[in-house]
A and B are shown apart, each in its own frame.
Chain A
Amino acid sequence: MMRRVLLVALVFAAPLAAQDAVPPAEYAYRQLPDARAEAEAHALMTTLRCLVCQGQSIADSDAALAGDMRSLVRQRIAAGETPDQVRAWLVDRYGDWVSYDPPLTPATWPLWAAPIALLGLGGWLAARKLRRKRSGTGDGE
């Protein structure tokens, strides 16, 4: 509860704070010189949640915190970490909430199994229906 209030306060504070003396983090609005590392960092940023926004990734947000997180991601990638390591580090600190890519755990396997299960179920239902229809009418055409 208290944390939520703080987060909301942060959202409103962000545009004002941005004009004040505190400059944005080094790599918030700067790309890495190495194109390959930048591409990796960018791909990772689109899958991380901006913690103070309403459903935006840190790659799509002007919030100060999103800028800090972008900078952090770029610096860690530049230091040689893999995107998975950076994600794991962030998840460790903020929980699975920070990652838009839900991990495969006992709590999420229904989510990940859903597409295949639904396709199978739908296909089976449609096939059954078609078969019954054909045997029901025979060759009366």
Chain B
Amino acid sequence: MIAETGLLLLWLAAALAVLQALAGFAGLSRRGEYVAISPAARPLAVLQGLLCLAAFGCLIALFLRTDLSVLLVADNSHSAKPWLFKFAGAWGNHEGSMLLWLTILGLGSIGVALFERQLAPRIVSATLGAQAVLALGFYAFLLFASNPFARLSPAPPEGAGLNPLLQDPGLAFHPPTLYLGYVGLSVAFSFAVGAMLAGDANRAFARAMRPSVLIAWVFLTLGITAGSYWAYYELGWGGWWFWDPVENASLMPWLAATALLHSVSVTANRDGLRAWTIMLALVAFSMSMIGTFIVRSGLLTSVHSFAVDPTRGVFILVLLALYIGGALALFGARIGKVASGATFAPVSREGALVMNNLLLSVILAIVLIGTFYPIAAEALGYRLSVGPPYFNRAAGPIALGLVALLFVGPLLRWRRDRLARLPVIAWMMLAIAGVGAIALVVLVPRSAILPALGLALGGGLAIASLLPLTRRSLRRTPATTWAMVIAHFGVAVALIGMASNAAFTEERLIALRAGETTTVGPWQVELTAIDPVVGPNWTAIEGGLVARYDGGAPTTLHPQLRAFTTPPTETSEAALLTRWKGQLYAVLGQPTSEGRWQLRLWWKPFVTLIWLGGILIALGGALSLVARIGLLRRARHYVRQVMP
């Protein structure tokens, strides 16, 4: 019954989405005859979102009960799985993740319907209309091509299980966080469409859009950071970013959202860059859609799996073409009606933000081209791979240019400024960073240029990013300035972590007998024991390692080699020892013929700064969000008092 209820709820939600779209666009009618209907878009949006949420709840219930008469559960779950993985398994598959996607789209609609009270009602209802049109396409996809509630008869005695690599607490948090980011951008997209349809994109529109961009960006940042750490400890080779298509798919919306976040602040504060902000809002969610669907449909990693289910692939491609093409066509037709905003001198805060947007857009384009180039080339009969060497060389220097811009950009005044006015210390830090990088390359043998530049610029930026706090009372510094400083400081921290990991990692691959000792960097590591261990749905061989830093106090690590039964797979569970100076990363490999065990050990100085930086960046975004919502409330209060 739960499955049928879920399906019914989905159909009802889709029907409500039709009404939401009609009501939302009614407000735009020429002579205003249908305007009276348009306020209905708000309650319809709330109801539609709630029904979709309820349908998602049904799917989770089916997974928690392991109802094997449902095809999706039988294919992806198993009764012996721990409950957390049953729960998270609901979205660890294609259909379930699509339903999660729609649920978050519905939550976005609810957010706009309930909280947006400042913007002109026409734009709000047109925004809700656009949001409903987006949802409808994906409802159609779910109901006609990916029904998560399909039954299986007869029900099998046991489920097929979940990929062991996914049986990790990371699965419970990573996809929902990332999806909140991806789909959160749909709200900015809908705001942009709504504003273009209403022919009105001013500061009020940018201010209305900003909280949704911030929310999506914070979740996207956290999702990417968490995903990177998950891959780092789960894949067992110490890599934290591989430039593979799936990662690039999450990076592209993040780059677009980061650019949007900065351009929307120009529109909201200074009323400039209106058309560009609208364009970026369209691009950001388009990147989310391209990222999720093209990659998840298998088009990118393998053309082969795409052909297995042509209906789905074609459905998705048509949907993407309609939405992205439609939005761009609307942009072309309507952007002339959006009056161009305020102007500014090249040397100004706006000018620096334009540079930021330019560089971020170029990086985005490089990632996009590099990700899709192999597909285009293969279509022409040439198979090639585009990987880390290309992305690092093409995007790395531009990213470092962006970091150099961060030394001075935040210190500039709005509208017009002089470089000579900037504090000497900002230029000094930039100069020291440049000289430092050259010194590193020259003095340290066999050092690569990018990590050296990264270390020097990162170190300089850690100080320069704090400069906006000087020359004023810290207590009276606005929370939004603190937010910016924290986020930019986070960039410096992450950059130092990346560069340090690239430059100073020590590796030791060795086969040891119990009782033998090896060294990696400053650590002495002894293999003391090899023991069998039994888990809930796996068995493992566990190594006992005793590690001493420079002959100091011993600490034990327990890397495992796990064997899962359903489906039969082996994974290695790395053991990590975290010190403030870095991480010791240990992996147990296969036994050798002479009775030794393969060990892989890495000492990674300051590698944790990569993710700490990511968290700081997200924290800055969160603080900015809280401050802006608070500001909004205060302003509203003030207006009510002045104009009763």
Contact = CB atoms under 8 A, between A and B. Distances in A.
Q: Do A and B come from one complex?
A: yes
Interface string A1-44: 10010000000000110110001100001110000100100100
A36 B445 CA distance: 11
Interface of A: 1, 4, 15-16, 18-19, 23-24, 29-31, 36, 39, 42, 46-47, 49, 54-57, 59-62, 95-102, 107-108, 111-112, 114-115, 118-119, 122-123, 126, 130, 133-134, 136-137, 141
Contacts of B93: none
Interface of B: 235-237, 239, 242, 244-246, 301-302, 304, 343-346, 351, 354-355, 358, 361-362, 365-366, 369-370, 373, 377, 380, 382-390, 394-395, 398, 416, 446, 507-511, 568-570, 572, 589-590, 592-593, 598, 600
29 contacts: A15-B569, A15-B570, A23-B593, A29-B589, A29-B598, A29-B600, A31-B510, A47-B389, A49-B385, A56-B242, A57-B388, A62-B572, A95-B384, A97-B384, A100-B388, A101-B389, A102-B386, A102-B390, A107-B377, A108-B373, A108-B377, A111-B390, A112-B394, A114-B365, A115-B366, A118-B365, A122-B361, A133-B344, A141-B416
Given A101-B387, A112-B390, 9 more contacts: A19-B570, A96-B383, A101-B390, A107-B380, A108-B377, A115-B395, A118-B362, A118-B365, A126-B354
B387 A24 contact: no
B191 to A, nearest CB: 23
Given A30-B509, A55-B301, A95-B383, A114 B572 contact: no
A118 B368 CA distance: 12
Nearest to A141: B416
Contacts of A62: 236, 572
A60 B239 CA distance: 7
A121 to B, nearest CB: 9
> Interface on chain A toward B: helix, strand, loop, or mixed SS?
helix
A134 B304 CA distance: 54
Nearest to A123: B358
B385 A18 contact: no
A102 B343 contact: no
A5 to B, nearest CB: 9
Contacts of A55: 242, 244-246, 301
B343 A137 contact: yes
Counting from the closest, the 10 A-B pairs by CB-CB distance are: A100-B387, A101-B389, A55-B244, A60-B237, A96-B384, A133-B343, A15-B570, A115-B394, A97-B383, A122-B358
Nearest to B383: A97
